[in-house]
Amino acid sequence: MNRKKIQEILVKNILLVAALSTSLAIGLIVFFLFQQGLGIFNEYPLESESVIVVNENVSVKELSAFEIKEINDKIKTNWNEFEGGTNEPIRFFTDDKIGDDEMLMDVLRENPYSIASVDADEWKEGDKTGLREIPVPKNSLTSLLTGKFWFPTAEPVMQLGILPLLLASFLITFGAILFATPIGVAIAVYLSEVANPKISKLLKPLFEILAGIPSVVFGFFGLVVVVPFVQKLFELPVGETALVGILILSVVSLPTIISVSEDALSSVPHSYREASLSLGATKWETIYRVVVPSAFSGITTGVVLGIGRVIGETMIVLMVTGNAAVIPEGVLHPVRTLTATIAAELGEAPFGGVHFQALFFIGCVLFLITLVINLIADYLISKHTQR
Amino acid sequence: MENNLSLSKGKINSRKIAERVIFIFLRLVAVFVLGILGIILYFIFSEGFSVLSIGFLTEMPKEGMTEGGIFPAIVGTGYLVFFSMLFALPVGVCAGIYLQDYAKQGFLVKLIRLATNNLAGVPSIVFGLFGMAFFVHFLGFGASVLAGSLTLSLVVLPVIIRTTEEAVKTVPREIREASLALGATKWQTTYKIVLPYAFSGILTGSILSVGRVAGETAPILFTCAAYFLPRLPNSIFNEVMALPYHLYVISTSGTQIEKSRPLAYGTALVILMIVALTNLIAVILRNKFKIKQ
């Protein structure tokens, strides 16, 4: 008897440990994701081996990564366009014209109002007279979330703004859900209310097949069929566009929307339907005025879960949307989402570097977005079941 | 009076007609989506079927992956499926049993469910990031079968937990009570009564998970998948080729994309067949299971 009791306790604890595995996994994911991702705020948007140096008569106190890009691209050519700057033209030098960083520093000394990116070791050991290091602020939440450029390997400073990626993800998710919601709900209504139960029993596994097709196969299909089709239809230079992503992802999100909505519709009590029908309403009027409104929170849950499915999708967008990390100009242009950026760049980013951390930061943003989506879905479900 | 009657008759008719039009429209929407499914399957089957041969399945890739077969990718996916199920299945089944049969409703169960739901919603690429930071670097497994299968096991863990819960839930209370009344302990009841009864349900969930693992790409990108390997892995610390990653590689980044296109169709077909097979088995099991009840 005693041995049995010990065994009972042992078993219960082993099962408990297994049950805690998902909590442990979530904890570890949060820790490792955020450890790398939040590290970005301690880093400068510079490669560790370079500093930005100016001639000492430059009066500007600080330059952001974006401002240095503007100087580099000759968008801003006068120091008075910056805070604290005087009315003098900017002279921007790069070491690829001059060759040697020691010579570059001499050039900076000789040219008033000049600026250049200098090798950090050279700067540490070299002669600093007449020169000044200009501080570049660390990456901040605002610089990352509102920066309009994503050029993580740009010289002399990296542009780590994820706004173009965020907008691309939102555009594709919004577009896909816009298509998928009416279609998905229509099919759910058909399966649950309209179709002969035998037929709907036959059809349901077919929609499950759609859910089972791996995303890489969808991506491949998009690449060989939908991309050329869209390219021809709209006479585009390239077919890999946001539109292809939207079209395919709307199909991918359908099974989620259909199955959750269908569950919600079929759990509406029969008495509701009978009451409506007995008042003389037609079947459609009953569906439209009684059944769908009663199942509304369930249908919303399906749509919310569909959003979660689409925003996290990686392989399809990586393969068919053209991978251009610019602010989307429209659905007929190439874009790159948050997920595709991680997939495309993590392999090339050196471990622990600024670029690597920026990609983990994107992972944190994605994690938080899907967390919020899941919490909303959980809330809707609990509301639904309470009723 | 007569006038009124005919008016309301007309109204009823128009309502009936509207209903029929709408129902036809709903049916068309369903047919349209099934048509899309048909087109996808048709394209991949018609283009991929001619590529399928014993050689394609059993040979190494040749000529920069424009000729030859996909044998190492099949083996690699086999390894990943085997090891990820080895890790996820016992943990997931135990967790499912705990949640249904052992746990008392309360804060802890709420927390576990919340974690499980959220784990199911984590984007697959985030699993890839985590796998790379934790299994590959922190635990030092390197890009390997071990790191890849552990990452994949996290992806399917919520699925296995949920299907186990569903299966355990269907075990009638009378049977449990009968067992307990005969003096069996709770564990004996679980082990000898509940588990055998729920077995086919759990099996269904596991088989669906196999399909999921075989098709996932994003979690293995940085944890185990190799672009090309001239030999098969000989330990779990080796990198592997895998079917979904192979399809991604030869359809997007090969040097001669057009030349390797037939192979890509073939690979896509093999992946689809694995998934279709797992789904089919799951459906058959589920139906059998329902009849038994």
pLDDT higher than threshold 60 for residue A359: yes
**What pLDDT does residue B5 have?**
47
| Contact across the interface for A319 and B252, Cβ inside 8 Å | yes
Closest residue in B to A285 (Cα) is B19
Contacts of A254 in chain B (CB under 8 A): 33
Nearest C-alpha neighbor of A185 from the set A14, A31, A302, A290: A302
Contacts of A305 in chain B (CB under 8 A): 121
Any idea of the CA torsion for A258, A261, A265, A268, to the nearest 10 degrees? 150
Contacts of A313 in chain B (CB under 8 A): 123
**Which among A194, A308, A359 has CB closest to B26?**
A194
| Contact across the interface for A15 and B130, Cβ inside 8 Å | no
Average pLDDT of chain A? Answer: 89
Helix (H) or strand (E) holding B233: none
By the 8 A CB rule, do A108 and A93 touch?
A: yes
| Contact across the interface for A378 and B157, Cβ inside 8 Å | no
B200 in A contact zone (CB under 8 Å): no
Domain ranges of chain A: 50-137, 163-386
Domain ranges of chain B: 54-292
Closest-CA distance, B174 to chain A, in angstroms, reads 21
For residue A302, name the pLDDT band (cuts at 50, 70, 90): very high
Q: At B63, phi and psi to the nearest 5? A: 50, 55
**Which among A4, A203, A214 has CB closest to B244?**
A214
**A180-233: per-residue pLDDT in tens?**
999 999 999 999 999 999 998 889 888 888 988 999 999 999 999 999 999 999
Which segments of chain A does DSSP mark as H helices, in order? Answer: 2-19, 21-38, 65-72, 95-98, 101-110, 120-125, 141-146, 163-189, 197-212, 215-221, 227-234, 242-266, 270-278, 283-286, 292-294, 296-312, 315-320, 338-345, 354-386
Structure tokens at B70: 């996909």
Residues 6 or more apart whose CB falls under 8 angstroms from that of A269 comprise: none
Mean pLDDT within B214-243: 89
Residue type, A311: I
Assign domain A50-137 to its CATH superfamily.
Periplasmic binding protein-like II (3.40.190.10)
B89, B107, B119, B125: best to mutate for the A interface, most A CBs within 10 A? B125
Closest-CA distance, B288 to chain A, in angstroms, reads 15
**What pLDDT does residue B11 have?**
64
B281 in A contact zone (CB under 8 Å): no
**Which among B94, B130, B161 has CB closest to A33?**
B130
Nearest C-alpha neighbor of B42 from the set B244, B269, B257, B258: B269
Q: At A50, phi and psi to the nearest 5? A: -130, 150
Q: Is the CATH number 3.40.1160.10 carried by domain B54-292? A: no
Contacts of A207 in chain B (CB under 8 A): 33
Closest residue in A to B191 (Cα) is A11
Nearest C-alpha neighbor of B201 from the set B142, B113, B266, B282: B282
Mean pLDDT within B45-62: 88
DSSP A295: T
**What pLDDT does residue A8 have?**
87
Residue type, A369: I
pLDDT higher than threshold 50 for residue B1: no
**Which among A254, A284, A373 has CB closest to B23?**
A284
Place of tokens 């849950």: A301
Assign domain A163-386 to its CATH superfamily.
MetI-like (1.10.3720.10)
pLDDT higher than threshold 80 for residue A387: no
Place of tokens 């509304």: A296
**Which among A25, A203, A208 has CB closest to B279?**
A208
| Contact across the interface for A314 and B123, Cβ inside 8 Å | yes
- Please say whether the dihedral angle defined by the alpha carbons of residues A45, A49, A54 and A56, taken in this order, is positive or negative: positive
| Contact across the interface for A312 and B126, Cβ inside 8 Å | yes
Mean pLDDT within B142-148: 94
Please report the residues numbered 204 through 243 in chain A whose beta carbons come closer than 8 angstroms to any beta carbon of chain B. 205-210, 212-221, 223-225
pLDDT higher than threshold 90 for residue A318: yes
Can you list the pairs that B285-292 forms with residues at least 24 positions away whose Cβ atoms lie under 8 Å? B285/B200, B285/B203, B285/B204, B285/B207, B286/B200, B286/B201, B286/B204, B288/B200, B289/B200, B289/B201, B289/B204, B292/B200
**B247-281: per-residue pLDDT in tens?**
999 888 766 777 888 889 999 999 999 998 988 88
Please report the residues numbered 204 through 243 in chain B whose beta carbons come closer than 8 angstroms to any beta carbon of chain A. 208, 211, 214-218, 221-222
**What pLDDT does residue A46 have?**
81
Contacts of A33 in chain B (CB under 8 A): 126, 129-130, 133
Structure tokens at B211: 């399909």
Residues 6 or more apart whose CB falls under 8 angstroms from that of A94 comprise: A116, A117, A156
**Which among B15, B115, B218 has CB closest to A282?**
B15
Give the separation between CA A152 and CA A355, rounded to whole angstroms: 6
**A140-181: per-residue pLDDT in tens?**
888 899 989 999 888 778 889 999 999 999 999 999 999 999
**Which among B30, B129, B211 has CB closest to A360?**
B129
Give the separation between CA A319 and CA A214, rounded to whole angstroms: 13
For residue A343, name the pLDDT band (cuts at 50, 70, 90): very high
pLDDT higher than threshold 50 for residue B284: yes
Kindly write down the DSSP assignment for every residue of A31-87, as one continuous string. Answer: HHHHHHHHGGGGS-SB-TTEEEEEETT-------HHHHHHHHTTS--BGGGSTT--S
pLDDT higher than threshold 50 for residue B49: yes
| Contact across the interface for A216 and B271, Cβ inside 8 Å | yes
